[in-house]
Amino acid sequence: MDISATFTLLFLLVASIAAVASADVFSDALLSLKSEFSDNYNALGDWFMPSNKNPSDEITACSWSGVSCNSNSTMVIGLDLSARGLAAELSGKQFAVFVDLVSLNFSHNLFSGKLPPSIFNLTNLKNLDISRNNFSGKFPSGVSGLKKLVVLDAFSNGFSGPLPAEVSQVESLKVVNFAGSYFSGPIPSEYGNFKSLEFIHLAGNLLGGEIPPELGKLQTLTHMEIGYNSYQRGIPWELGNMPQIQYLDIAGANLSGPIPKEISNLANLQSLFLFRNQLNGLIPSHFSKLVSLQSLDLSDNQLSGQIPESFSELKNLSLLSLFQNKLSGTVPHAIADLPMLDTLLLWNNFFSGLLPNSLGINSNLKLVDVSSNNFSGSIPPNLCANGMLSKLILFSNYFAGELPPFLSNCSSLVRIRFEYNSLSGPISLSFGSLSDISYVDLSSNKLTGGVPEDITRASKLEYLNVSNNPELGGKLPPKLWSLPLLSNFSASSCNISGSIPSFQSCKSLTVVELSANYLLGNMPETISDCHGLSIIDLSHNNISGEIPERLGHSTSLLLLNVSFNDISGSIPENSNFRLMDSSAFQGNPKLCGVPLQACRNSKEIQTELLWVLVLCAAVVVFIALAVSGVYYIQKERKKGQWKMISFAGFPNFTAYDVLKSFSSPEFMDTLQYPLVSSPICKVTLPTGITVSVKKIEWDPQRMEVMEELIIQMGNARHKNLTRLLGYCYNKDLVYLLYDYLPNGNVAEKILARQDWTSKYKIVLGIAKGLCYLHHDCYPAIPHGDLRPSNIVFAESMEPQLTEFGFRFLMQLNKGSFPVTTSKMQPGQYTSVNEELYMDIFNFGNIILEILTNGRTQNVSKSILNKPAEDLLEEICRENEVSRQDTLRKELSLMLEVALLCTRSRSSDRPSMKDVVNILSGSNS
C-alpha cells in the first residue's frame, strides 16, 4: 500500500471517531425513552430532532420541555416529566447516559411495572421523585448508591414487600416518602440511623410489628407521619427524644396502651395526631410543657379521666380534638382562656356539668362540637363573641333554658344542631340576620311558639328539623316552600295545625316530614310541582280529599306515607304507588286501589265472590294435605328411631344413608364456621352431595312445634336464601342439612375494597332475600340474627342469607314460647313485628358497613346523629368517588336507604318491600 492510500485511510478513521464523539447521545437516549411512553396528550410533542441541525457541541434536547441543561447546554442535569399523563413500563436502559443528572421527576403519571434498578446508577442525583404512579413489586435494591440524594419521594404507588432498609445508609437524605403503597412488615430499626433526615412519611401502608424505639434517635427530624398502618403494642417512650420534631402523626395505627409522658419533652412540637387508635389511660398532665403545640387530636381512642387543668398553659393551641373517648368530669374553665382556640371537639364522651360561661370571649371560636355528652345548664352566652362561629353542635345533652340571644346576631353561623336536649321557649332565631345559615336541627326538645314566620328570609337554608317538640304548635308559614335551597323539612310530632301551604318554587325540596300533627284540608295539588321530592310523610294527621293524580307521575318519589288520615278516592294508577307497601296507605277507610283493596264495582264484586269460593276450596284441599302430611310424619316417626325428611329438590335419602355418612371420618370435617352459634359439620352424602349439617338437641315435648317451623324454613325457596335441604331426627336429636357454600361471607369481603357494582349486587341480594322472608312467607319469618357473617356467597357469588329463623327455632326449643296448639301462629312470637323491624335496622347497618368498607361496624348514636351530607362525604372518600362522579347519586340513594332503615323509632323504618323497590330503581 502506498503512502497516499495509507494517509487517506487514517484520515477517514480519525474523521469517523470525531463524528462518533460529537454525536448527540443525550437527545438520542431521550428519544429512545419517549418511544416507550404512551403519550395520549402529546405532552412531549417538541421532543424531535430537527432535520437541519448544525454540527455543534450543544445538546438538542436542552430546548425540549422538561429537560434542563448546564449553562452551555453540554450536559443534561435535570429531567422533569411530572403531571404529563404519560404511561409506560420503563426499561431503564437509557439511564446509563445521564451520569450528570441531578434531578429526576416522574411524578403524577401512570408509570407501572417494576422500578428499573438502573435508576440507582444516577449517582449524582439529589432529587428523585417517582410519586403518584403505579410502580409495583418490591422496591429494588441499590438505593444506597445514591450518596448525594437529598429527596426520595415514592409516595402513592403500588410497591409491596418490606421497606428498603438500605436507604438509611444515604447520609445526605433529608426527605423520605414511602407513604401510600403496600409495604408490609415492620419499620426497619435502621431508620433510626439517618444523619440528616428532616421529613419521613410512611403512612397508609400495610406495616406492622412494633414501632422501633430507634426512631427516637432522629435528632434532625422535624416531620414524622407513620400512621394508617397496623402496629402492635404502643408508642415507644423513646419518641420523646426527638428535639427538633414539629409534626408527629401516628393516627389510625392500632396503637394500644397509655400515651408516654415523655412525649411532653418535644418542646418544638406544633401538631400531635394520635387519633383513631386504642390508646387508654389518662391524658398526660405533662402535655402542658408542649407550649408550641397548635393542634392536638387524641380523638377516637379509649382515653379516660378528665382534661388536665394544666392545659391552660397551651397558649398556642388552636385545635383541641378529644371526641369519641371515655373522658368525663367537667371542662376546665382554663379551656375558655386559651387565646388561639378556634376548634373544640369533645363529642361522644361522658363529660358533665356546665360548659364554661366565658367560652368564646377570649378566642375566635369557629367550630364547637360537644354533642353526645351529659352537659347541662344553659348554653354559654358568649360562644360567638368574636363573630367567627360557623358550626355549633350540642345535640344529645341536657342543655335547658331558652335559645341564647347571640344566635340571632351571629351572622357567621352555617350549622346549628341542638336536637335531643331540654331547650324550651320560642324559636327565637332572627333568620333574616343569619345570612349563611344552611342547617338547623332543633328536634326533640320542648320548644314552643310555632315555626317562625321569618324563616323564609333564610335564603341559604337547606335543612330544618323541628320534629318531636310536642308543644311547638302554631301553623306552617304560608311561604315556607319558597325557600330557594330548602331540601329537607321535618316537623313531625309538633302539634302543628292548619293546612299544608301551597308548594311554590320548590325545585330543591327532597324530603317533607309532617307526620303526627293536626294538619287538615287537602294535599295541595302543587306538591306535584316539586320534581325533586323523594320522601313525603304526612301520616297520622287529619288530611282529607284525594291524592293528587299528578303526584303519581313523579320520577323522584321513593316513599309516600299518608296512612291514618281521612284521604278518600282511589290511589293514582302509577307504578310508583303500586310498588309501595300497603302500610303507607292504611288507616284511610275511604281510600282504595293498588296496593290496597281494589275500588269496587258490581262486576268486580261478583268476580271477587267467585275467587273467594275458589280460594276456600283451595284452603280446604291444602288443610287436608297438611293434615295428611303431619299424620304421615307422625306415622313414620313411630316406625323407627331415626327418620329423614327431604324438601323439594333434594334426593330422598334414608336416615341410614345420612347417619352412615356421619360415622365415616373421611366425610366429616369440623369447621370453624362463624355463621352459627352451635357446631356445624361438612358432610359428603351418597352420590357425592356435600352439605352442611347442624345438630340440635331438642326437647321431645317440643318436637312437634319445632318441626312446623323447620318445615316452614325448608319450604322457603329464594335465590338469596341458603336452602334447608332436609332434616334427620329421632326423639333426642335433629340434624338440619343445608347447602354447603364454601365461598366465604360478607364479613370477610367487606374489608376488601370492591367496585360499586359488586357492592350494589350484595346489598340488593340481601334486601331481596329479607323481603321474601318478611312478605312472601306466611307467617312471616324474621331472620332474627342478620349480620355480615350470616350472609354467604353461592357459586355465582350471589349473596344468600343463612341462619334465617334459627334463633326462633332455638327459642322454641328452650321453651321461650308456650306450646298451646299444634299449628304455630305469629302470635306465639313475642312481638314478631318488632323482630321484623330489627331485621330492617340490621340491614341498614350492613349497608353502612359495606359502604365504609367495614369501618362502621355498629350503628352508634353518633353515626345516626351525624348529618347525612357529612356521612356521604366520608363514604365518597372511602369509595374514591369525586363530587363530579356519576356514582355519587347512587351512593347517596343507598346511604339514604341505610339511614331510613336505622331510624330510632321502629315504625318509621320502611318495609323491606319498599327498600327493594327503591334499590331496584336506583340501578335502572
Strand residues in 298-381 grouped as ranges (E): 302-305, 319-321, 326-329, 343-345, 350-353, 367-369, 374-377
Residue with grid cell 320548590, as numbered in its chain? 506
Q: Which residue has the higher pLDDT, 744 or 100?
A: 100
Establish how many alpha carbons lie within 13 A of residue 682's alpha carbon, considering only the half-sphere containing its beta carbon.
11
Which of 706, 721, 740 delimits the end of a domain?
A: 740
pTM, entire model = 0.70
Indicate whether 533 belongs to any domain: no
pLDDT in tens, 225-235: 999 999 999 99
Same domain, 730 and 766: no
> Are residues 700 and 815 located together in one domain of the fold?
no
Q: Is the dihedral of CA 8, 12, 13, 14 positive or negative?
A: positive
Q: What CATH number does the domain containing 862 carry?
A: 1.10.510.10
808 and 897 part of one domain: yes
Classify residue 636: in a domain, yes or no: no
Q: Give the mean model confidence (pLDDT) for residues 669-694.
A: 59
Query: Taking all residues of the chain, what is their mean pLDDT, rounded to a whole number?
Result: 85
447 or 554, which is more confident?
Answer: 447
Looking at 745-788, which runs of residues are DSSP E strands?
A: none
Q: What is the pLDDT of residue 827?
A: 42
Q: What is the pLDDT of residues 298-308, one digit of tens each?
A: 999 999 999 99
> What pLDDT shows up at residue 823?
40
Q: List all residues 6 or more positions away from 301 whose beta carbon is below 8 Å from its beta carbon.
A: 274, 275, 276, 277, 278, 279, 280, 324, 325
Instruction: Quote the DSSP letter at residue 773.
Output: I
pLDDT score of 850: 87
Cα(783)–Cα(839) distance, integer angstroms: 7
Asked whether residue 690 falls in the same domain as residue 796, the answer is no
The domain boundary residue, chosen from 714, 740, 766: 740
Whether 512 is covered by a domain: the verdict is no
Average of per-residue pLDDT across 112-134: 95
Tell me if 860 is assigned to some domain: yes
pLDDT at residue 695 in the model: 84
Please indicate, yes or no, whether residues 793 and 891 belong to a single structural domain of this protein: yes
Residue 843 CA to residue 176 CA, distance in Å, equals 45
Please give the residue that has the higher pLDDT: either 754 or 508: 508
pLDDT in tens, 832-889: 777 888 899 999 999 988 888 776 655 554 465 666 777 787 778 777 776 666 677 8
The residue annotated as part of the active site, out of 342, 785, 839, 914, is: 785
Give the range among 89-93, 141-145, 675-679 with minimum mean pLDDT: 675-679
Residue 348 reports pLDDT greater than 60 = yes
Q: What is the pLDDT of residue 16?
A: 38
Residue 183 has pLDDT above 90, yes or no: yes
Residue 281 in 3-state DSSP?
strand
Higher pLDDT, 10 or 102: 102
Say if residues 535 and 514 touch (Cβ distance below 8 Å). Answer: no
Give DSSP secondary structure letters for 23-68.
Answer: S-HHHHHHHHHHHT-EETT-TTTT----TTPPP-SS-GGGGSTTEE
Q: How far is CA 287 from CA 193, 272, 296, 640, 818, in A?
A: 28, 11, 10, 77, 62
Prior bond of 404 cis (ω within 30°): no
Percent of the chain with pLDDT over 70: 85
Based on the fold, state whether residues 749 and 729 are members of the same structural domain: no
Q: What are the cell numbers at 775?
A: 312478605
CA 510 vs. chain centroid, Å, equals 23
β-sheet bridge partners, residue 690 = 684
Give 594-601's long-range contacts (Cβ < 8 A, gap of 24+).
595/571, 596/571, 599/570
Q: Classify residue 463 as exposed, middle or buried by CB count within 10 Å of its CB (0-12, 13-18, 19+).
A: buried
Report the distance separating Cα 851 and Cα 918, nearest Å: 17
CB count within 10 Å of CB 803 equals 22
HSE value, Cβ hemisphere, 13 Å, CA-based, for 502: 4
Q: pLDDT tens digits, residue range 707-766?
A: 888 888 888 888 898 888 888 888 888 888 888 887 788 887 776 667 777 888 899 999
Percentage of the chain modeled with pLDDT above 90: 55
Residue 727 falls inside a structural domain: yes
Predicted confidence at residue 828, as pLDDT, reads 44
Residue with cell 301520616: 539
Among 78-87, 188-197, 677-686, the minimum mean pLDDT is found in: 677-686
Backbone angles phi, psi at 428, to 5 degrees: -90, 55
- Inter-residue contact 205 to 184 (CB < 8 Å): yes
Q: Which residue has the higher pLDDT, 719 or 905?
A: 719
Nearest C-alpha neighbor of 858 from the set 866, 846, 850, 874? 846
401 has a pLDDT exceeding 60: yes
pLDDT, position 821: 36
| Residues 766 and 849 reside in one and the same domain | yes
The answer to whether residue 653 sits within a structural domain is yes
Domain harbouring 709, CATH code? 3.30.200.20
Decide if 852 contacts 876 (C-beta within 8 A): no
Pairwise pLDDT comparison (700 vs 107), residue with the higher score: 107
For residues 556 and 533, give the distance between their C-alpha atoms in angstroms, rounded to a whole number: 6
Give the C-alpha separation, 291 to 268, whole Å.
Answer: 8
How far CA 195 is from CA of 110, 186, 240, in Å, comes to 33, 21, 18
Q: 875 and 783 in one domain?
A: yes
What pLDDT was estimated at residue 618? 66
**Is residue 863 situated within a structural domain?**
yes
For residues 787 and 902, membership in a common domain is answered with: yes
Lowest-confidence pick of 34-48, 243-257, 901-915: 901-915
Range of the domain at 654: 641-668+677-740
Instruction: Work out the average pLDDT over 634-663.
Output: 69
pLDDT class for 659, splitting at 50, 70, 90? confident
Say which residues have a Cβ less than 8 Å from residue 256's Cβ, sequence separation at least 6: 233, 234, 277, 278, 279, 280
823 and 694 in a common domain: no
Q: Using 50, 70 and 90 to split pLDDT, how confident is the model at 450?
A: very high
Q: Which residue has the higher pLDDT, 115 or 745?
A: 115
Q: How far apart, in whole angstroms, are the C-alpha atoms of residue 730 and residue 732?
A: 6
Q: What is the mean pLDDT of residues 468-478?
A: 95
Q: What is the pLDDT of residue 287?
A: 94
Q: Note the pLDDT of residue 600.
A: 74
In this structure, what C-alpha cell is assigned to residue 730? 329421632
Tell whether 809 and 773 lie within a shared domain: yes
- Could you tell me if 242 and 216 are in contact, meaning their C-beta atoms sit under 8 angstroms apart? yes
Number of domains in the chain: 2
Give domain status of residue 869, yes or no.
yes
Domain boundary, last residue among 708, 740, 772: 740
468 close to 496: Cβ distance less than 8 angstroms: no
Q: What is the mean pLDDT of residues 611-622?
A: 65
| Beta partners for residue 112, in sequence order | 89, 134
User: Please, which residues have CB within 8 angstroms of residue 335's CB and are 6 or more apart in sequence?
Assistant: 307, 311, 312, 320, 341, 344, 356, 359
Rg (CA), the chain: 36
Whether residue 153 lies in the annotated active site: no
pLDDT at 171 over 90: yes
Pick from 250, 191, 181: which is nearest to 215 by CA? 191
The answer on 907 and 803 residing in a single domain is yes
The per-residue pLDDT for 413 is 95
List strand residue ranges (DSSP E) for 500-541, in order. 511-513, 518-522, 535-537
Q: pLDDT for 42-66, tens place per residue?
A: 999 999 998 876 556 689 999 999 9
CA max distance for the chain: 129
Q: Is the per-residue pLDDT at 9 higher than 50?
A: no
Measured over the CA atoms of residue 252, residue 253, residue 259 and residue 260, the dihedral's sign is: negative
* pLDDT digit string, tens, across residues 772-818: 898 888 788 888 889 888 898 887 778 999 888 888 888 777 765 54
